[in-house]
Structure 1
Amino acid sequence: MEAKPKPQPLSKPESGFMDSPQPAPSSPATTPTQHQVRLANPSDAQWLIDLTNHVQSALTSSGSLQELTPSTLETILAAIAKQEIYLLISTLSSPSLNHASLTSSSSECNPVSESRIGSVTISPFSPIDGRGSSAWPISIPSSKTTEHANPNPNHNTHSHSKTWYLTSLMLNPSHQGHGLGKRFLRDVFQLLGTGMVVLDCWAGNEKLRSFYEDVGCTLVGAFPEREYEVAVFEVE
């Protein structure tokens, strides 16, 4: 699900967010909502394609010029196999759960239904594959990446010394405007463990720049790309 920017003011990587907050549908007071993050599995592949189409439709309807890069089942399944896609799950729970939480669960919670509402794709930083640029002053660890066993099925099993690139962040439009995207991304960073994640966007996109800063990212600088500049951020 790699973002292929066009020579116009677009958000990159693919943010999948509307230009203005959208109201979320109201939920019955008797069914509090809990949010959790997990790695995607092969059964999520078609849903990820549908999410991309849904988000693209919403962006176009809002007048946004952003165009998300279509993905095939083959490319999505390959990314899932490499543990590069995370999902945000919304769980409707029994009234005994009185607060929402990401990545944590409650023994008092009796879930009645689950729904997938967002995705984050984070791939190894690789300019040769279109994920980042060699012109950016990013330090890439020279040690080889190793894999190790990890008892947490939601935790990426790659070496923590890796440098990652945020390829895409998409949230169902009906769930935007309530801070879920920021909480989602922070949780993904935590699940990745130590290391570095590189993010970028069109330098003139103040909204997305503020979003990155709010989740703890540091501005590396602005760099020319085709007919515009991109702002590059990193977080460790």
Structure 2
Amino acid sequence: MPESLPEVRLVEAGPFGHPAVEHDWPQQAGPCRALQKALSTYVNTVDDLPPVRRLGGVDIGFEDGGRITRAAAVVLDAQTLEVIDTQLARVPTRIPYIPGLLSFREIPGALAALERLATLPDLILVDGHGIAHPRRLGVATHLGLVTGLPTIGVAKKRLTGSYEQPPDERGAWAELQDRDETIGAVLRSRVGVKPIFISPGHRIGLESALSFTMSALTRYRLPETTRVADKLASNR
């Protein structure tokens, strides 16, 4: 029997005290895609940020042949990039990898890790896409909706859209476009390396997403939020 489409519920206080979206978690591709389309109507890509004193990072790894999701959540001081808190959560993996549906595989673990933090971030940089997604609902956007927290997608590879290569200068960027819509930016985070793909997740616009990503960069290709979270999620 086909799986029914889960109901979408708006709540004034989600798991972290902010207005958020609640829904059940389907495990079949069709209902997942339909839910993405429904959720995309709730996305806010206009700046709706508190003063950003703490930056968060989220990254996901897997154990036991993919049966266990190993999720990392970290909090860094937004000015110094010093680590304030790190947490790791292990949960059973709900669905296999399906292109375009990564959030349904990864977010349950990310939520478990975020819930363990003693100090919540004001803004989360997620290892994945925001609205730079065929249905405008990448893992960063989906995480922003269900937590109510502002999020940015910071991805290593393009998922959708077209672009011209940005100049080989740190901080240079080019628009990532899908038809007539700008869905993100292709950012040169370091001279001589491949660019990264920045897109609004939720409660933030593209200009601010670029600015906060740049503020979290040091001498590496990826922001420190992602680097710290990746080491924890990958057990390195």
Query: Structure 2 length normalisation: TM-score?
Result: 0.29
> Which structure is higher in RCO with an 8 Å CA cutoff and minimum separation 6?
1
Q: Which has the larger radius of gyration?
A: 1
Query: Structure 1 length normalisation: TM-score?
Result: 0.29
